[in-house]
Amino acid sequence: MAWDSSRPVPWNRLIREWLIYAAIMSAVFIIFFRGDNVVGAIAGVLISGPLYLAFGAVMAKFGYQRTRLKDARRAAKSSTAPSASGTEVDDAPRAKPAPTSRTAGGPNRPKSSNRRKR
């Protein structure tokens, strides 16, 4: 897609996503780098904010919209995918496969040991 300056930028979504990322990464750095230089790591996380927002705004102007998990679930629930044979998938259970010698249902089936030993 081409650049379109009239496309809206989802600022609230971008800021919310970055805040969640920043909180998680800051907590990870504080927990795992307790004795080291945590200030530098936190500064790096804070510097990533404007970079993330700028990159997200440019991508939005090019027309990129990341699919949310909620939208993907809704689309998967509403559509029915055709199976390999081209028919629609129904909710009936699959048929049991034919027995083979490896599943002990074929000609090499072991004898039953129900006989009583004397």
- Residue type at 52 in one-letter notation: Y
The answer to whether position 48 is within a domain reads yes
How many other C-beta atoms lie within 10 A of the C-beta of residue 29? 19
* pLDDT tens, residue by residue, 57-105: 999 999 998 888 888 888 888 875 555 555 555 678 888 888 776 776 6
Residue 67's domain comprises: 20-74
The answer to whether position 108 is within a domain reads no
**pTM score above 0.75:** no
Question: In angstroms, rounded to a whole number, what is the distance separating the alpha carbons of residues 53 and 60?
Answer: 10
Measured over all CA atoms, what is the biggest interatomic distance in the chain, rounded to whole angstroms? 92
DSSP 8-state symbol, 52: H
106: confidence class by pLDDT, cuts 50, 70, 90:
low
The answer to whether position 5 is within a domain reads no
Kindly report the CA angle at 50 between 46 and 54, in degrees rounded to 5? 155
Number of domains in the chain: 1
The answer to whether position 55 is within a domain reads yes
The answer to whether position 86 is within a domain reads no
The answer to whether position 103 is within a domain reads no
The answer to whether position 92 is within a domain reads no
As given in the structure block, the two tokens for residue 10 are 């989802």
